[in-house]
Amino acid sequence: MTGFEVYKMYLALKQHFTKQDYDYFKYRGKVRANEQSFEQRRDRYFFKKLATRYSNDEVMDYFVANFVNDPKGYLQSFSKDIYTDWKTNRESFTYKFKQDVNTLLDDYQTPYTEAFEKLFTLESGHPPIIKHYLAGNISIETLVVFERCLGFVSNFDKKLNDPIWKDIRIRTLKYAPFVNINCQIYKKVLLETIRTKL
């Protein structure tokens, strides 16, 4: 992979994470880019360094990790540390998901099955699950699992229209295709966590 190819991947992923109508997978990462203008960019060495340091898949993961952290895609905020933390989180995500579910249920009494439903209740302001995410108590991956397996976004869209929700919404939906989720496994983890909390 060349520096220019890495740059094109960056542009495509930036469009994916920032533009509602661009889908990286649908358009197979195609973007308009000129190699000549790339060579005149001051940050070209950043892309060339990534090309020598990582494989194709690793470059994509590096960008995805950093875009999830900063969807606007400012290169100054991109770092290897963010990528390393993201990889560690991904490798132990089933355990992290279990911790997140426990955290979500901590505010409630039994029966936890009813408490779980309350997390998605829209009464005033943001629902509890979104408040927990904003407070940093649960990860974006946990929201992605709940969206993929339970589909809460369309329900929230009916009542929420504020900039905070719009940001979380787009981040969740745009990140989802990059997260490999087996809903049967996560539903099982969810039910086990609810059972063991009793």
Cis upstream peptide for 111 (omega within 30°): yes
Residue 77 corresponds to which tokens in the numbers above? Answer: 């905020």
Whether 109 and 179 map to the same domain: the answer is: yes
Instruction: Give the Å distances, CA to CA, from 103 to 100, 137, 155, 168.
Output: 5, 7, 23, 19
Residue 79 corresponds to which tokens in the numbers above? Answer: 């770092």
Residue 54 corresponds to which tokens in the numbers above? Answer: 């990582």
Q: Which tens digits make up the pLDDT trace of 67-78?
A: 999 988 899 999
Whether 69 and 101 map to the same domain: the answer is: no
For every residue of 128-139, DSSP letters joined together read: HHHHHHHTTSS-
Residue 87 corresponds to which tokens in the numbers above? Answer: 């990889």
Q: Which tens digits make up the pLDDT trace of 121-130?
A: 988 889 999 9
Q: Which CATH number covers residue 74?
A: 1.10.8.60
198 pLDDT band, cuts 50/70/90, is: low
The full 3-state SS of 26-51, as one line of letters, equals CCCCCCCCCHHHHHCCCCHHHHHHHH
Q: How many domains does the chain have?
A: 2
Q: How many helices (H) and strands (E) does the chain have?
A: 12, 0
194 pLDDT above the threshold of 90: no
Q: Which tens digits make up the pLDDT trace of 86-117?
A: 999 999 999 999 999 999 999 888 777 788 88
Whether 142 and 110 map to the same domain: the answer is: yes
105: containing domain? 92-196
% of the chain surpassing 90 pLDDT? 85
State residue 113's pLDDT score: 79
Whether 98 and 50 map to the same domain: the answer is: no
Q: Which tens digits make up the pLDDT trace of 34-57?
A: 999 999 999 999 999 999 999 999
State residue 175's pLDDT score: 97
Whether 142 and 189 map to the same domain: the answer is: yes
